[in-house]
C-alpha cells in the first residue's frame, strides 16, 4: 500500500454520492464553494443504483405485464404475453445508467471533483481515502457526511447464494419459481409484488399483526387483498427462526402465531430494515457524538458536535428516505455558505409503490387522538371519481385530516392509483398552512385523480357533491 505524497484541499468535502450527497455537492458548488465528493461505488448511491430507481422500474415492468394479461373487460384480448426477464433487467439497467450518467454530467458542469474510494477521518479537517493500493489525504474546510445505509443481515439468515438482500434480488438473472420474503415492510411488499406479478410463488413473513406496519390498518388491507389475488401467502405475527439449504433451494422454519411452519422456496429475501453506514468512518475516533444505533447527532442545520462537519440522510435521525436526504443536503450546503437555512419541515411524505399505491403525510387519526387534537375527517372513494373508473382503478380513497374550528390541513392518507403523485398537493398544503377551504376552492382539472383530494376536503367540510354525506 502506498500513501499519497500530496494533500488536496477543498472548501467542502462530501462523503457519499447518493441522493443526499450529490444534491449537497451541487448546491455547495452553486454557492461558490470548491467541492470534492468521495464515493466508493457508483454515483447516485443506493437509491439510483440498487434501490429506489431500479425497484420502481421493475415495479412498472411487472405492472405492465400484469395489465397486459387482464384487459378483457375493456374489450382488448392479448395472446401469448411473455416475460423476457433478461430484457427486463437490461431495460432497468438502462434507466439506471441514464440517471447516474446525468449526475456525472451535473458534477462536470459544476466542476465537482469525484474521488473514488472509502474515506476515514484522521482529524477534524482531514480524511484519508483508500482506493485499491492507493491512499491519499484530503483536507477540507467543511465536510458533509452522506454515507447512507445498508440492509440489515439476520444472524440466522446470512446473505449468500440463497439468501438475498434487496440489492441481489433486483439483479437476479432468472425469475425464481418461489421466494420467502422475511419482512412485510415497504421494501418486502414492493419487491414481493414484483416477483408475484411475474409468476413467482411468494410467501411473506411479517412479525407485526399487519403488513406495512406504521400505516393505518385500512390501507394495508387493500394491498393484502391484491396480494392474495396474486396467490401470495401472507403470515403475520410470524418469526423466521432458521433455514436449511437443499439441493435446489431452502427450507425456512418459522413460528406463525405460536405454531411451527416449514416453507420451501428457491430463495429467501430479507427485508427487515437498514443500518446506518457510520461504523467504518472513524468518526468516533475524532470525538463525534453518535447514538446507540450508530446515528450521528446533528442540529437543525445538520451540524455535528464538530462545528465544521455535517451529516445528512440515513445516518441521522428521522425516516430513511431519499427525499429527506436531498432536503437535508441542501440545508447543510446553505448553512456552510452562511445562509440561515435549517431543517424546518412540517411533514415528510411516505410512499409505498405497492398495488394499489399508498401514501401518507402529516398526522393520521390515531396520532391526532394521542395529541388531543379536535379534528374532522373527509374520506372520499376513488370509486366515485370518473378518471379512476376510466382507468379501471376504482379501489381506494383519499382521507384528509383537518383541525376542527380552524380547518387547517393536518394530514392525509391515500390508498389508490397514483397515490405517490397525489400526496404532493397535500404536503404543500400542510407546509404552507392551508385550510380545507383552500383545497376545496382550488379548481382541479376534470377528469383527474386530483379531484379526489378536492372532494375529500368538501366531504370534511360537510357539503360533498359526488357522495352522500
Give the class (CATH, top level) of 163-272: alpha beta
| 7-150+275-337 and 163-272: identical CATH topology | yes
Map residue 390 onto helix, strand or coil: helix
Per-residue pLDDT at 1: 43
Cα 36 to Cα 107: distance, rounded to the nearest angstrom: 10
Cα 421 to Cα 351: distance, rounded to the nearest angstrom: 9
E-assigned strands of 210-284? 233-235, 238-245, 250-256, 259-265, 267-270, 274-276
Per-residue pLDDT at 396: 98
User: What is the CATH number that goes with domain 349-461?
Assistant: 3.30.390.30
Residues contributing to the annotated binding site for FAD? 56, 147-149, 314
For the segment 378-436, what is each residue's pLDDT rounded down to a tens digit? 999 999 999 999 999 999 999 999 999 999 999 999 999 999 999 999 999 999 999 99
Q: Which residue has the cell 447527532?
A: 297
Pick from 144, 107, 139: nearest CA to 21:
144
pLDDT by residue for the chain (469 residues), tens only, comes to 445 545 789 999 999 999 999 999 999 999 999 999 999 999 999 999 999 999 999 999 999 999 999 888 899 999 899 999 999 999 999 999 999 999 999 999 999 999 999 999 999 999 999 999 999 999 999 999 999 999 999 999 999 999 999 999 999 999 999 999 999 999 999 999 999 999 999 999 999 999 999 999 999 999 999 999 999 999 999 999 999 999 899 999 999 999 999 999 999 999 999 999 999 999 999 999 999 999 999 999 999 999 999 999 999 999 999 999 999 999 999 999 999 999 999 999 999 999 999 999 999 999 999 999 999 999 999 999 999 999 999 999 999 999 999 999 999 999 999 999 999 999 999 999 999 999 999 999 999 999 999 999 999 999 999 999 8
**Which grid coordinates are listed for 279?**
461504523
Q: How far is CA 73 from CA 76, 127, 211, 391, 460, in A?
A: 7, 62, 30, 12, 34
Map residue 110 onto helix, strand or coil: coil
What is the Cα 326 distance to its own chain's centre? 12
Which among 60, 235, 446, 463 is annotated as catalytic?
Answer: 446
Per-residue pLDDT at 6: 57
Q: Indicate if the alpha-carbon torsion angle 347, 279, 333, 118 is positive or negative.
A: negative
Mark whether 446 is an active-site residue.
Answer: yes
Residues contributing to the annotated binding site for NAD(+)? 183-190, 206, 273
Per-residue pLDDT at 8: 84
Answer for the pair 397, 379: CB distance below 8 angstroms, yes or no: yes
Q: Could you state, in order of their start, the residue ranges of all structural domains in the chain?
A: 7-150+275-337, 163-272, 349-461
**Which grid coordinates are listed for 140?**
477540507
**What is the pTM for the complete model shown?**
0.95
Residues contributing to the annotated binding site? 56, 147-149, 183-190, 206, 273, 314
Looking at CATH, the fold of the domain delimited by 7-150+275-337 is given as FAD/NAD(P)-binding domain (3.50.50)
Amino acid at each position: 500500500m502506498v500513501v499519497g505524497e500530496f494533500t488536496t484541499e477543498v472548501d467542502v468535502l462530501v462523503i457519499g454520492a447518493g441522493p443526499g450527497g450529490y444534491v449537497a455537492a451541487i448546491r455547495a458548488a452553486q454557492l461558490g464553494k470548491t467541492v470534492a465528493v468521495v464515493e466508493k461505488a457508483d454515483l447516485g448511491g443506493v437509491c439510483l443504483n440498487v434501490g429506489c430507481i431500479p425497484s420502481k422500474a421493475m415495479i412498472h415492468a411487472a405492472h405492465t405485464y400484469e395489465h397486459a394479461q387482464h384487459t378483457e373487460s375493456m374489450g382488448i384480448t392479448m395472446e401469448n404475453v411473455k416475460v423476457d426477464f433478461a430484457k427486463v433487467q437490461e431495460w432497468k439497467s438502462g434507466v439506471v445508467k441514464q440517471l447516474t450518467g446525468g449526475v456525472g454530467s451535473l458534477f462536470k458542469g459544476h466542476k465537482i471533483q469525484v474521488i473514488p474510494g472509502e474515506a476515514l477521518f484522521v482529524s477534524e479537517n482531514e480524511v484519508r481515502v483508500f482506493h485499491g493500493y492507493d491512499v491519499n489525504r484530503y483536507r477540507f474546510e467543511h465536510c458533509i457526511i452522506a454515507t447512507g445505509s445498508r440492509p440489515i443481515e439476520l444472524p440466522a439468515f446470512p446473505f449468500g447464494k440463497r439468501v438475498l438482500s434487496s440489492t441481489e434480488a433486483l439483479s437476479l438473472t432468472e425469475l425464481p419459481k418461489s421466494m420467502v420474503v422475511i419482512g412485510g415492510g415497504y421494501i418486502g411488499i414492493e419487491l414481493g409484488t414484483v416477483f408475484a406479478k411475474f409468476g413467482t410463488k411468494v410467501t411473506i413473513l411479517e412479525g407485526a399483526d399487519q403488513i406495512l406496519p406504521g400505516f393505518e390498518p385500512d390501507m394495508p388491507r387493500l394491498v393484502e387483498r391484491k396480494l392474495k389475488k396474486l396467490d401470495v401467502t401472507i403470515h403475520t405475527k410470524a418469526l423466521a427462526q432458521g433455514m436449511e439449504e437443499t439441493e435446489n433451494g431452502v427450507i425456512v422454519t418459522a413460528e406463525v402465531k405460536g405454531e411451527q411452519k416449514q416453507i420451501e422456496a428457491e430463495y429467501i429475501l430479507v427485508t427487515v430494515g437498514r443500518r446506518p453506514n457510520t461504523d467504518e468512518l472513524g468518526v468516533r475516533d475524532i470525538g463525534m457524538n453518535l447514538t446507540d444505533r450508530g446515528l450521528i447527532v446533528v442540529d437543525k442545520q445538520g451540524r455535528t458536535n464538530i462545528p465544521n462537519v455535517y451529516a445528512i440522510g440515513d445516518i441521522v435521525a428521522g425516516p430513511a428516505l431519499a427525499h429527506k436526504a436531498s432536503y437535508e443536503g441542501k440545508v447543510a450546503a446553505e448553512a456552510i455558505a452562511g445562509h440561515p437555512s435549517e431543517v424546518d419541515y412540517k411533514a415528510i411524505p411516505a410512499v409505498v409503490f405497492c398495488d394499489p399505491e399508498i401514501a401518507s403525510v402529516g398526522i393520521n387519526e390515531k396520532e391526532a387522538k394521542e395529541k388531543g387534537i379536535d379534528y374532522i375527517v373527509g374520506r372520499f372513494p376513488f370509486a366515485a371519481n370518473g378518471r379512476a373508473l376510466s382507468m379501471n382503478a376504482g379501489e381506494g380513497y383519499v382521507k384528509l385530516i383537518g383541525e376542527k374550528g380552524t380547518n387547517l390541513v393536518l394530514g392525509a392518507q391515500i390508498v389508490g392509483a397514483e397515490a405517490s403523485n397525489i400526496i404532493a398537493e397535500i404536503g404543500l398544503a400542510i407546509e404552507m398552512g392551508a385550510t380545507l377551504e383552500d383545497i376545496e376552492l382550488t379548481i382541479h382539472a376534470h377528469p383527474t385523480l386530483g379531484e379526489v383530494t378536492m372532494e375529500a376536503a368538501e366531504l370534511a367540510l360537510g357539503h360533498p357533491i359526488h357522495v352522500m354525506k
